[in-house]
Amino acid sequence: MRLWGGRFGDGPDSRMADFTRSIEVDAELALDDIAGSIAHVRGLARAGLLTAEESETLERGLAGLREDVAGGAVAWDPALEDVHMNLETLLTERVGAVGGKLHTGRSRNDQVVTDLRLWTRRAVTMLDSGMVDLERSLVDLADREGDAVLPGATHIQPAQPVLFAHHLLAYVEMLERDRGRLADARRRLNVSPLGAGALAGAGYPLDREATAAELGFDGVTANSLDAVSDRDFVVEVLAAVSLAMVHLSRLGEEVTWWSNPRFGFVRVADAFSTGSSMMPNKKNPDPAELVRGRTAGVIGALAGMLTLVKGLPLAYQRDLQEDKPAFFAAIRTLDASLSVMSGLVATLTVNRERMRTAAEEGYTTATALADALVRRGVPFRAAHHIVGGLVGGAEAEGIGSLAALPDEAFRAALDGSDDAAARRLAHERGIVPALRSAASVEGSLASADVVGGTAPHRVAAALAAAKARLGLE
Ligand code: ARG
């Protein structure tokens, strides 16, 4: 007979029992369920609903269960439906009839969402430390390869040179926002639903605040109907988790390109690569690809959760049991992805020469050259036109970079301009070496000298700030 079986004549059909059971999934909540029960027992004692002896017995029983669950010594009984029924039954087997008092003033509806909030709180802490680890790997690599230059791209076409460290620190920024989103979600999720009962509020004078404090919650939910049906925190965390996966997916995408021999910018360590069953030559960055691939499932979990709640009337509906499988899986996926990407990044080898050569291809210093003309009084639009002409000419002559153009090319371009300031410049002493230096990779990097720009001293400052934040050095 089920714990809820009093009014039933027949036992459950096995198809119904199999269909509604959740123990395979919610066993994950066992330790949180026990923590919630211990706090509840203390609350019942404070309210005079248990004698000191009864509450001690229950608490001792629950502490024993906690040990056995943590040690993997508990076998779940599928006939008992879910983790709550399993634990209550196990407790009663151990402590006797007083076990029947545990569920006083509590429903599985406020119980399960208490468990899930506790579980999510732990998950958020775990993910935060995974994010910090990955940030550290990125910052270490940025530090190690501080002056490597990457061909910055837009439209996947050569654009402007950037420091590799600057590129890596962009991902540190993303991860910092991810941490912020999790911390923000945690503030709202960290309230106790215990005492909401099934939906209307417990029928006993429970001190909900005291029980909440016992569980490390910052407060209590304000409305019992909302308390048992609210899964906003799952949606919020899944949204933050999805976005973090999107960031890792983008990083994974870049690593797959960078490690392609055509690029040859980085080598993924053997330990983070896989081979082919047929092609002996193959070395593939599979972890990066799988991070990208598994992002799909995590985004699916977010869409699924929103869809799950969108049509639910108040208060608890059994649909809500479906909040867990994809949520748990998404958290595990992000945690594992952070960890594998951290290892992959930490063991990347950088080929600075290949990067540097590529950074010069495609006349990437053209903007810096135009800016140099502007600094000498040429309107930007005229400067853009002059440098565009130089690029066109270099391309036609098969000259690979602006800095390699002959002196006459610079002078002729200035002299042929519609702009009077440009024409004056054509005859200025020392103008060509000055422009050639502006058109070098170093000149281009140095000119992006604003907060958040890729000028080396700006990147060094950003790196130092990131290190200080992460407690490195
Ligand atoms: N296994 C259920 C869940 O995860 C627990 C709550 C069930 N409550 C109920 N009244 N059937 O949502």
Q: What is the pTM of this model?
A: 0.96
Are 369 and 438 within 8 A, CB to CB?
yes
For the CA of 26, the nearest atom of ligand 1: 4
Specify the residue with its C-alpha closest to ligand 1, atom 3: 321
Q: Which residue is closest in CA terms to ligand 1's atom 2?
A: 321
Q: What is the structure's pLDDT at 1?
A: 64
Distance from the alpha carbon of residue 103 to the mean position of ligand 1, in angstroms: 14
Measured in angstroms, how far is the CA atom of residue 314 from the centroid of ligand 1? 14
Please state whether beta strands 266-267 and 349-350 pair in parallel, antiparallel, or not at all (unpaired): antiparallel
Q: Which residues of the chain have pLDDT under 50?
A: none
Dist. CA 408–CA 426, nearest whole Å:
10
Which conformational region is residue 316 in: left (phi greater than 0), alpha (psi within -120 to 50 degrees), or beta?
A: beta
For the chain, what is the total number of helices (H) and then of strands (E)? 20, 6
Residues near 315 by Cβ (< 8 Å), separated by ≥ 6? 109, 198, 199, 224, 225, 228, 229
Q: What domains sit in the chain, N to C, each tagged with a CATH number? A: 14-104 (1.10.275.10), 121-205+219-357 (1.20.200.10), 360-469 (1.10.40.30)
Write the residue with the smallest CA distance to atom 11 of ligand 1.
318
> How far away, in angstroms, is 279 Cα from ligand 1 center?
51
CB 37 within 8 A of CB 102: yes
- Report pLDDT for 381: 97
Pocket test for ligand 1, best of 108, 110, 314, 317 (most atoms within 8 A of CB): 108
Question: Looking at ligand 1, which atom is closest to the CA of residue 198?
Answer: 10
| Ligand 1, pocket-test mutation among 32, 321, 323, 324, most atoms within 8 A of CB | 321
State the distance from the centre of ligand 1 to the C-alpha of 204, rounded, in angstroms: 22
Are 372 and 447 in contact by the 8 Å Cβ rule? The answer is yes
pLDDT for 3 equals 83
CA-CA-CA-CA dihedral for 445, 448, 449, 455, to nearest 10: -30
Active-site residue set: 155, 276
Q: Are 339 and 136 in contact (CB under 8 A)?
A: no
Please report the atom of ligand 1 found closest to the CA of residue 320: 12
Map 356-381 to HEC letters: HHHHHCCCCCHHHHHHHHHHCCCCHH
How many Å apart are CA 83 and CA 33, to the nearest integer? 8
Q: What is the pLDDT of residue 146?
A: 87
Pairing outcome for strands 157-163 and 149-154: antiparallel
Q: Where are the beta strands (DSSP E) in 368-445?
A: none
* Contact of 64 with 94, CB cutoff 8 Å: yes
Cβ neighbourhood burial of 10 (10 Å; 0-12, 13-18, 19+) = exposed
Spacing, Cα 321 to ligand 1 middle (Å):
6
**Beta strand pairing status for 219-220 and 191-192?**
parallel
The DSSP code for 9 is S
pLDDT value of position 15: 97
- 233 alpha carbon – ligand 1 mean position (Å): 18
Please state the φ and ψ torsions of residue 312, each to the nearest 5 degrees: -90, 125
Which of 318, 320, 327, 328 is the pocket-test mutation for ligand 1 (most atoms within 8 Å of CB)? Answer: 318
Cα distance between residue 225 and residue 314, in whole Å? 7
At a CB cut-off of 8 Å and minimum separation 6, what does 461 contact?
none
pLDDT tens digits, 265-312: 999 999 999 999 999 999 999 999 999 999 999 999 999 999 999 999
Pocket lining for ligand 1, CB < 6 angstroms: 22, 26, 82, 108-109, 112, 318, 320-321
